[in-house]
Amino acid sequence: MKTLRGRHNFRWVWACLASLLILAGCRAGTKEAGSSAVITERPSLSETAFRSSLPAETQSATASSASASDSASTAPETPPASGTQAEASSASPATSSASPGGTTTKASSPPTTQTATSASTAASSPAGTSATQPETGSGRLSAHFIDVGQGDSVLVCLPNGQTMLIDAGEAKKGSSVVEYLQSQNITHIDYLVATHPHADHIGGLPAVIKAFSIGKVYMPKAEHTTKTYENLLTAIADKGLKITAAKAGVTVLDEPGLKVTFLAPASDKYKDLNNYSAVLQIQFKDTAFLLMGDAEKESEEEIVARYGDALAADVVKAGHHGSRTSSTQKLIAATQAQYVVFCCGKDNSYGHPHEETVSAWTKAGAALFRTDVHGTITAVSDGKTVTVTTEK
């Protein structure tokens, strides 16, 4: 019996040991199976999808910890602030009440600087209301002589709701012109005019062409070999646009009470590239605008000989930034301008506008405005009178 009990005890001990081993194995297997289950239950996700599947607080923490590695590829680019816009934003508008013509008035409450103009701001001032949508059906025409420093850029919002842009300053001013157009709610440019191939007129146009949909492009037949000119032609071609020749007699638009016509260039060949300038006359009911580009004496004489008294205008953008090479006595007498605008840069190296040019227009009775002094200048016509406002 003792022997049997010993064997029984021995067997019992072995049974207990075996049970312990089996139990330990089961626990180990359960842990492995548990680990495997965790891996299996987490599907393969991309970084972004995985973050979005987490609770909000976890997403935030995960995004913060990952920002160092993916910020360069996921953060949106912030466009550099335009120097022109920055300067304009800090400028304080000044009031003026010069009104030489009797029938033409200068607004006593000029608009504030245009920076992402709100609807309420646009409704409070003539320049602000020149956006495409507000102008549609309003029966007004507005010309914005944009301050681009030593260069030209003119936005024209026509009373039929269409828009025209003439030049865009130097290449470095392209972003400023784009920003100004956007502040006026411009989304489409029906007529784009490059007056002539000089950089201070066409340099910024590629940026404009890339930023907006464009209808027709007008340029004079004047060849140039600069990189700036090549960039413009490339931008036009890349957008699938065609160029229509700008020359005397070409009509851009002819509707009842509204006509836009090129008065120059009248000849095929000139020694000076400035004389190839596309000169525009815009007639709206009883008012008229004459935009001279950089046309000089030779071209002005052709224009006066061809059109004479038909050149009468309420507003003239003087040729070649007010240089003495333009604004001849014959042209001044023919236009009988009420207002003259000089597009020029502050303290420019050319001395524009030249003293004799300023004196000639002043003696003719015109009120003078300069972008280097007044900032962006806006002239608005209701078809009978013209109101001029200035940024500064």
Residue written as tokens 């680990």?
Answer: 35
* Per-residue pLDDT reduced to its tens digit, 294-328: 999 999 999 999 999 999 999 999 999 999 999 99
In this structure, the answer to whether residues 238 and 371 fall within a common structural domain is yes
Looking at the domain assignment, is residue 323 inside a domain?
A: yes
pLDDT for 121 beyond 50: no
pLDDT at 251: 98
pLDDT for 33 beyond 50: no
Structure-block tokens of residue 264 = 């120059």
pLDDT at 255: 97
Of 254, 310, 245, 304, nearest to 278 by C-alpha is: 245
CA geometry: angle 191, 203, 167, nearest 5 deg:
30
Chosen domain end from 73, 108, 136: 73
Is the pTM for the entire model greater than 0.85?
no
CATH, residue 311: 3.60.15.10
Dist. CA 175–CA 333, nearest whole Å: 38
In this structure, the answer to whether residues 269 and 307 fall within a common structural domain is yes
pLDDT for 73 beyond 50: no
The residue with greater pLDDT, 134 or 391, is: 391
Q: Stretch 229-235: mean pLDDT, rounded?
A: 98
Residue written as tokens 């008229």?
Answer: 288
Of 144, 244, 125, 248, nearest to 186 by C-alpha is: 144
Task: Count the domains in the chain.
Answer: 2
In this structure, the answer to whether residues 169 and 252 fall within a common structural domain is yes
pLDDT at 138: 64
pLDDT for 351 beyond 80: yes
In this structure, the answer to whether residues 37 and 170 fall within a common structural domain is no
Looking at the domain assignment, is residue 92 inside a domain?
A: yes
pLDDT for 217 beyond 80: yes
Go through 351-371 and write b for each residue having 16 or more CB atoms within 10 A of its CB, e for each that does not.
Answer: ebbbeebbebbeeeebbbbbb
Q: Stretch 105-125: mean pLDDT, rounded?
A: 31
CB 137 within 8 A of CB 150: no
In this structure, the answer to whether residues 54 and 110 fall within a common structural domain is no
Phi, psi of 80 (to 5 degrees): -65, 140
In this structure, the answer to whether residues 132 and 19 fall within a common structural domain is no
- Beta-carbon contacts of 26 under 8 Å, excluding residues fewer than 6 positions away, are none
* Per-residue pLDDT reduced to its tens digit, 122-181: 322 333 333 333 343 468 999 999 999 999 999 999 999 999 999 999 999 999 999 999
pLDDT for 241 beyond 50: yes
Give a three-class secondary structure readout of 217-279: EEECCCCCCCHHHHHHHHHHHHCCCCEEECCCCCEEEEECCEEEEEEECCCCCCCCHHHHCCE
In this structure, the answer to whether residues 253 and 157 fall within a common structural domain is yes
Burial class (CB in 10 A: 0-12, 13-18, 19+), 49: exposed
In this structure, the answer to whether residues 219 and 365 fall within a common structural domain is yes
Q: Stretch 340-353: mean pLDDT, rounded?
A: 98
Looking at the domain assignment, is residue 105 inside a domain?
A: yes
Looking at the domain assignment, is residue 184 inside a domain?
A: yes
Looking at the domain assignment, is residue 78 inside a domain?
A: no
pLDDT for 13 beyond 60: no
In this structure, the answer to whether residues 59 and 108 fall within a common structural domain is no
In this structure, the answer to whether residues 69 and 94 fall within a common structural domain is no
In this structure, the answer to whether residues 310 and 277 fall within a common structural domain is yes
If DSSP codes are grouped into helix, strand and coil, which group holds residue 53? coil
In this structure, the answer to whether residues 57 and 95 fall within a common structural domain is no
The residue with greater pLDDT, 65 or 6, is: 6
Looking at the domain assignment, is residue 79 inside a domain?
A: no
Chosen domain end from 21, 51, 73: 73
Band of residue 184 on the pLDDT scale cut at 50, 70, 90 = very high
Go through 101-125 and write b for each residue having 16 or more CB atoms within 10 A of its CB, e for each that does not.
Answer: beebebbeebbbbbeebeeebbeeb
- Beta-carbon contacts of 28 under 8 Å, excluding residues fewer than 6 positions away, are none
Band of residue 83 on the pLDDT scale cut at 50, 70, 90 = very low
Structural domain including 383 reads: 84-390
Band of residue 260 on the pLDDT scale cut at 50, 70, 90 = very high
pLDDT for 355 beyond 50: yes
Structure-block tokens of residue 272 = 């000076």
